[in-house]
Amino acid sequence: MIVMKFGGSSVANAERIKHVASIIKAYKEKRPAVVLSAMGDTTDHLLEAADKAVEGVVDVAGVAKLHEDTAAELGINIDTIRALLDELKQLLTGISMLKEISKRSRDYLVSFGERMSVRMMAAYLEKEGIPAKFYDAWDIGIVSDSNYMAAELLDEVWDNIPKYLSDYKNGSDNKIPIVTGFIAKDSKGNITTLGRGGSDLTATMIGAAMRAEEVQTWKDVDGILTTDPRVVKEARPVPEVTYEEAQELAMFGAQVLHPRSMVPVRKTGTPVRVKNSYNIQSPGSIIVEKHSGKVPPVCAITTVKHITLIDIVSSRMLGAAGFLAHIFNNFLKWGISVDIIATSEVSVSLTVNSKDDLSGLVKDLEQASEVTVRTGKSIVTIVCDAAHSSAILASGFAALADEGINVQMISQGASKVNISMIVDDDEAEKTVQILHKAYFN
């Protein structure tokens, strides 16, 4: 058994749905369970409909037209879709009467995209002679807490999923499960969403719970690349990375899988393969616990633009422990997350999201520190075997020095698989190009 996950762009229209169906058909002997996102930008359109409803306007025409037109092009019956559209209209009518939308109602609202998507795919596969059955996530035991918009799966999911899918895995049930990603239900039966990377998490959770041969996530590139091909056209696929490396890549800007989706498969050692839906013969990139051969010195280079660098220097005789406690208590107070950090006994440099409001934080920090805030910065991260950090830094920094790039901060992660540096936004792409040439050419 394998698990196959397709994102919204993969099922954005009838043509793409037909293409995904052909991929599923090509892998049917592997007994795939399929996880789907909503069609294209449906989730955004549902949220726009909610905003209109708050203002008193109930409008499902856009969402309805997309799905009805797609169904007509696919030649499938959409009675189940129409029932969901009626349910959606009732929800929006309720929102328009209340003139407000709660987090719980919002999760209920955005669930319609995935629920319609799986029904359309299952119907089309059946039409093409491929036995299939749609499932809303809770139909196979995917339950969560009640933290709406960012719910966490409950431990009982590990036991629930095999109860519903074991017959399919062992061959007594022949219908390919087509499962919604991103959504669940809490213990009270309310629909929840799993937050960022929710569809990835659903796929890896199913794969891990079913002890699948592998989880496949299908994209539009040949797996994980050495860097963004829009920045470096010579970027090439990375055949193999570890779970830890994949998490670091995702944390620092690469469009791989969300870091939290690695948690279930790490528990069971289930491989995850990143495949290209436009080139199904390509082996893609596989994510595993440990490298099967020689560990490459550098795996990939990523970048995150538009971050803020904060330099904090102690202005009191607090000592290292008191100084750091003062800093991080204030970050906790203002709910601001730190990306990377470099410290000495009386000074700290760290980065935060440029969208964070820092006014209150800076005011509190200045009670015991001198604070300098610099915007327009980028994090460039080298995902690598940090056991060879001296050689990696030597070649990389020599290349940067030759091109006049000034690195303003450097930090090595505790995971020992990443080295991050700060440069100006307008130097970020050039920095990636220089480093890529130094490490891969």
More confident residue, 394 or 197: 394
pLDDT given for residue 259 in this prediction: 82
Q: What is the average per-residue pLDDT within 340-369?
A: 91
pLDDT given for residue 322 in this prediction: 77
Residue 292 clears pLDDT 80, i.e. is over it: yes
pLDDT given for residue 253 in this prediction: 65
Residue 435 clears pLDDT 80, i.e. is over it: yes
Residue 345 clears pLDDT 80, i.e. is over it: no
Considering Cα of 400, then 401, then 404, then 408, what sign does the dihedral take?
Answer: positive
Residue 184 clears pLDDT 80, i.e. is over it: yes
pLDDT given for residue 98 in this prediction: 93
pLDDT given for residue 282 in this prediction: 87
pLDDT given for residue 319 in this prediction: 61
Question: Of the candidates 412, 225, 371, which has an alpha carbon nearest to the alpha carbon of residue 302?
Answer: 225
pLDDT given for residue 344 in this prediction: 81
Find the angle CA(218)-CA(197)-CA(137) to the nearest 5 degrees. Answer: 85
More confident residue, 177 or 406: 177
Two tokens at 187?
Answer: 């213990």
Give me the percent of the chain exceeding a pLDDT of 70. 98
How sure is the predictor about 320, in pLDDT bands with cuts at 50, 70 and 90?
Answer: low
Residue 258 clears pLDDT 90, i.e. is over it: no
Helix (H, G, I), strand (E, B) or coil at 52: helix
Lowest average pLDDT, out of 160-174, 244-258, 363-377, goes to 244-258
Q: Which residue has the tokens 């099922």?
A: 11
Taking only the tens place, the pLDDT of each residue in 147-159 is 999 999 999 999 9
Taking only the tens place, the pLDDT of each residue in 34-75 is 999 999 999 999 999 999 999 999 999 999 999 999 999 999
Taking only the tens place, the pLDDT of each residue in 187-232 is 999 999 998 789 999 999 999 999 999 999 998 888 899 999 899 9
C-alpha span between 269 and 109 (Å, rounded): 35
C-alpha span between 152 and 138 (Å, rounded): 14
For the chain, the average pLDDT equals 93
Q: How far is CA 432 from the centre of its chain?
A: 22
Give me the percent of the chain exceeding a pLDDT of 90. 80
